[in-house]
Structure 1
Amino acid sequence: MSSSSHYAEIQACLNLKYKHASQAHLYIQPMNTVDRIQELLTHHGIPKRGMRRALERTCGISYQAVSQWFSGETTNIKNEHLAAIAKEYGSSLDWLISGVGPMITGKESSSLFQVAEGHTQFDVEPTSEWMTVRVPVMDQAFSAGQGAAAERIEDFVDGYEAIDQETLDRLQILPGCARVIKIRGDSMWPTFFDGDKVIADTNSVKLINQGVFAFEFDGDLKVKRFFKRIDGSWLVSSDNKDDPSYPDEVIAPHNAMQLRIIAQIKELRSRAI
């Protein structure tokens, strides 16, 4: 056998061993549950930096507890938490635990009140080192009064305002879901005045008792406070109880399809003097 052919044979053996070693290496490092959770949230457009906050809110546990999943301190994630994640992001418990089946099952959250198909999510622009975020200001004012004609509020942006990351973290708002909304009318006085700007979260579209939400209903855009009633319906109320022109309204479960939650109002941003 010539030296060149002998060298080629040795090289072929080395390549084969390398190939088998690589395959073995890949085989012994399958995705674990945390890997699948990250893949699922990435699929839904949630940046890695915001995943722990999102999971904290979905599972109703502390940020520190979620961080222990990612660090490996907690290796057994409770099934109730995995079930909440699967429900929130349209996956299945089987896939999260073992990777069996499709990642997306097509089943959305069972909440009656969902963001309508086609709801626009704007990207935000982080400034240096993510200390502040340039948040879109929605151009069309929401009415804290009798309502304003709705025309895809998400599509109208009137510039940006810089909000520090610490504020968004405190309010538990993902940067890509933060919005500044202008208030019009006085039905939410004394909480919000006409001309106020508020910080809102477009990721918080599930109604909570006594929460204040920007929403579209039957062609009108409004900001109101929601109270859950014992029969499953929602009382939509104005904070201004001195003006009889702002009566309470009731949203029955069968009218849910007409109600489109735009965002939850989290905090006053600025007040016009």
Structure 2
Amino acid sequence: MANLQDRMALARQHYESAFGKKLKNTEMAEYCKVSKASIGQWFNGPTKNLEGANLSRAAEFLGVNHKWLAGGNAPMLTANPSKLSITIKSNSIDAPVLSMDQTQKWREYINGQITPEEYIATNYEGLDRESVFIVKVVDQSMSPIFEVGDRLIIDPYKLPSPGGYVLALCEGNTVVFRRYRVTGYDDDGEAQFELIPHNNDFPVLDSQKHDIKVLGVVVRFTREL
């Protein structure tokens, strides 16, 4: 589908057919936690793409596949779409296991452009259950608490909190697993932070000295014995 507005028009048709009523921008705005004006921009422009929570909530409200709504090569509807947001979810999902390099492009995975190494079942769902992914620890930077081979369950939509653990992209080319420590806030209210290793042989990374992008929050980990 050429652009977001074309996809939104089709999604509106599906919504109105499934529910048997007209879509109201006010209802969608309340569900998606945005302004009514934002909904109008999604349907009529100039918004070109939806991402993050806006994408997942819009897709859930409309009852369409969020990968399709994002412009990915995916069907518009998932299984039993007519149930929309009240669809009963299973207790577990098959989360993809991505390599550290693949995590830099997890949105491409969401759009069906990356093949994961394998899938592992988890009952963690997060805000958008289809965006949850897993990576394996590949170095000793977080030893002795975390060891090589431990599996980290990552929620890319969860906001990091002081003392928590994150997966982050540093200087645009290196993915690291570290503890997140807030050191202050800039004039715009954005957090300034450090990424702390448990192993002192690895460096502390400072957001004021390095270009760092948090890719997701570690919500659980598993270890094979």
Specify if TM > 0.5: yes
User: What letter matches 1:185 in structure 2?
Assistant: D
Structure 2 residue aligned with 1:34: 27
Q: State yes or no: 1:225 paired with 2:179.
A: yes
- SS state at 1:130 partner: coil
| Structure 1: distance between partners of 2:117 and 2:216 | 17
Give percent identity, aligned residues only.
Answer: 14
- SS state at 1:157 partner: coil
Q: TM-score, normalised by structure 1?
A: 0.47
Structure (1 or 2) with the larger CA radius of gyration: 1
Partners of 1:210 and 1:225 within 8 A in 2? yes
| CA offset digits 1:108-129 (Å, max 9, x no partner) | 9xxxxxxxxxx99999x99x96
- SS state at 2:184 partner: coil
Matches within 5 A, 1:103-118: 103=42, 106=47
Partners of 2:25 and 2:36 within 8 A in 1? no
- Quickly say closer, same or farther: Cα 1:37–1:133, change in 2 above 3 A: same
Structure 2 residue aligned with 1:130: 90
Structure 2 residue aligned with 1:203: 157
- SS state at 1:210 partner: coil
Following TM superposition, by how much is the alpha carbon of 1:195 offset from its aligned partner in structure 2, in angstroms? 0.8
| Structure 2: distance between partners of 1:36 and 1:30 | 11
Q: TM-score, normalised by structure 2?
A: 0.56
Matches within 5 A, 1:1-273: 31=24, 33-38=26-31, 41=32, 85-86=33-34, 93-95=35-37, 102-103=41-42, 106=47, 130-138=90-98, 140=99, 142=100, 152=104, 154=106, 155-164=114-123, 167-168=124-125, 172-204=126-158, 206-218=159-171, 219-232=173-186, 233-240=192-199, 244-252=200-208, 258-268=211-221, 270-273=222-225
- SS state at 1:184 partner: coil
**What RMSD, in angstroms, separates the aligned Cα atoms of the two structures?**
4.0
Following TM superposition, by how much is the alpha carbon of 1:135 offset from its aligned partner in structure 2, in angstroms? 1.1
| CA offset digits 1:15-53 (Å, max 9, x no partner) | xxxxxxxxxxx9x97726333344xx5xxxxxxxxxxxx
Following TM superposition, by how much is the alpha carbon of 1:215 offset from its aligned partner in structure 2, in angstroms? 1.4
- SS state at 2:146 partner: coil
User: What letter matches 1:209 in structure 2?
Assistant: P
Following TM superposition, by how much is the alpha carbon of 1:105 offset from its aligned partner in structure 2, in angstroms? 6.4
Q: How many residues align structurally? A: 161
User: What letter matches 1:251 in structure 2?
Assistant: S
| Structure 2: distance between partners of 1:183 and 1:122 | 30
- Quickly say closer, same or farther: Cα 1:151–1:193, change in 2 above 3 A: closer
| CA offset digits 1:75-133 (Å, max 9, x no partner) | xxxxxxxxxx33xxxxxx3527xx7x53476599xxxxxxxxxx99999x99x962321
Following TM superposition, by how much is the alpha carbon of 1:264 offset from its aligned partner in structure 2, in angstroms? 1.0
| Structure 2: distance between partners of 1:217 and 1:183 | 16
Structure 1, unmatched stretches of 5+, are 1-25, 42-84, 87-92, 109-118, 143-148
